[in-house]
Structure 1
Amino acid sequence: MAIVGHGPSQSTCEDCYGVQITPLSDRTAAPAVHIQITGRYAYQGVLFLVRNMATHKVVGEFFNFDENLFTSVACDDDEEPDFNEIDIDKYTVLGHIDPKLKEWPVHLDWMMTTDALNNSVTELELQGMVVVRHL
């Protein structure tokens, strides 16, 4: 079931957000990247996940983020059956804790997990949703 207020973008703001992804060279167990997201205006919340482009399955795990702002979230959406398979104890899908206004940038790290490595994932897509105060 979709949550009221979350849905396709209705934004008319072009170039409001920026994403910079850089490899982390100090991780040897699994490939990992640092992600920095910037925006023009304060935001209420975010939702981030990484998908395998071939299967559209959510893969990997986020780490090294501000635990006062973000936590693992589960999305129960009839249109996304693979969300029902997500382990809430892992940081596979990262979301905001509360709707208080927050400032940019957002810094977090993401790593490939063993299951994705074993399945030879080659193309990934970072997906995100920004929850803004609608005036």
Structure 2
Amino acid sequence: MRILLFLLALLVSTASAWPGNPGTCDVEKMSREGHGPSKSTCKDCYSITSSIANDYLSYSLKVTGREQFQGFLLYVQDAANNTVGSFRTYDHFLYEPVECQEAVEFDLNNTIGHSNPIMKRWPVELGWTAAVTEDEAAKFQPGDKLTVRGMVVMDYDHWHIFPEFTFSIAQPGAEKLKLPAVHDTIPTHHHEYPNKLFYTVLVIAFIIYNGMSLLFKHLQHRRRQTREKQTTFQAAATGDRTILLRDW
């Protein structure tokens, strides 16, 4: 049983490359320092599209891919490579803001990342706005170019950098204008995801552990019943001997 518990702890500890929040906002730095070289390639695996939401400063971003994933990181930068804007709409169970040193302002949800290592599916849909106040809105003009950068992680050895996606601030008054997706073909690794085997092994280990626990409890119960019967029998035997001696 101790061996099973040790194996479970070992499997869980090696299950993901990013167990919680990514902890950084630099895609290039993460690919260099957080992971080793990618082990395979994938062409046209991922794409990013955008469309106007409530107003010309608010956009819906949609990221699509193929394999299920654990880690996720996405942010928007201006022409000077400053991280700008704020993610306002997202799945709060799967994702959360990541504070970045590169951000122009803090506490504005400039960068979004995963909040836990559970398996996630595509697409990822996010609501992003360039500005939430009039002072911030004054910094953006129609036609300003913005670039979406990001990264996805399946496990430590399998990760992808998204192709950079560029879109422009629309004209005020534009109604739900669909901006075309612009995605490049980039070499990234694409292996059959190995964590399916991990979850299979984990489930089997839990089943074995629970089965052994139930068997252990059953054996303890049987031993306790046996001891009680032996005690009762011994007491009865002692009583019979006492009666015989008294009668004699």
TM-score, normalised relative to structure 2: 0.44
Q: CA deviation at 1:14?
A: 1.0
Q: CA deviation at 1:86?
A: 4.7
Tell me the secondary structure at the aligned position of residue 132 of structure 1.
strand
Match of 1:132 in 2: 154
- Give the whole-Å Cα distance in 1 for the aligned partners of 2:81 and 2:48: 21
Find 1:73's aligned residue among 83, 95, 98.
98
Residues 16/32 of structure 1: CA separation in 2 closer, same or farther (3 Å cut): same
Match of 1:58 in 2: 83
Q: CA deviation at 1:44?
A: 0.5
Q: Within 5 A, what are the aligned runs for 1:1-135?
A: 6-8=30-32, 10=38, 12-24=41-53, 26-27=54-55, 31-53=57-79, 55-75=80-100, 82-83=102-103, 86-87=105-106, 89-113=107-131, 114=133, 116-120=136-140, 122-133=144-155, 134=158, 135=194
TM-score, normalised relative to structure 1: 0.77
Identity %: 31
Match of 1:78 in 2: none
Which of the two has greater helix per residue? 2
Unaligned runs of 5+ in 2: 1-22, 159-193, 195-248
Q: CA deviation at 1:99?
A: 1.4
Tell me the secondary structure at the aligned position of residue 7 of structure 1.
helix
Residues 62/101 of structure 1: CA separation in 2 closer, same or farther (3 Å cut): same
Higher relative contact order (CA 8 A, sep 6+): 1
- Give the whole-Å Cα distance in 1 for the aligned partners of 2:137 and 2:88: 17
- Give the whole-Å Cα distance in 2 for the aligned partners of 1:120 and 1:63: 18
Structure 2: which amino acid aligns with 1:127? R
Find the structure with the greater CA-based Rg: 2
Tell me the secondary structure at the aligned position of residue 6 of structure 1.
helix
Structure 1: which amino acid aligns with 2:84? V
Unaligned runs of 5+ in 1: 76-80
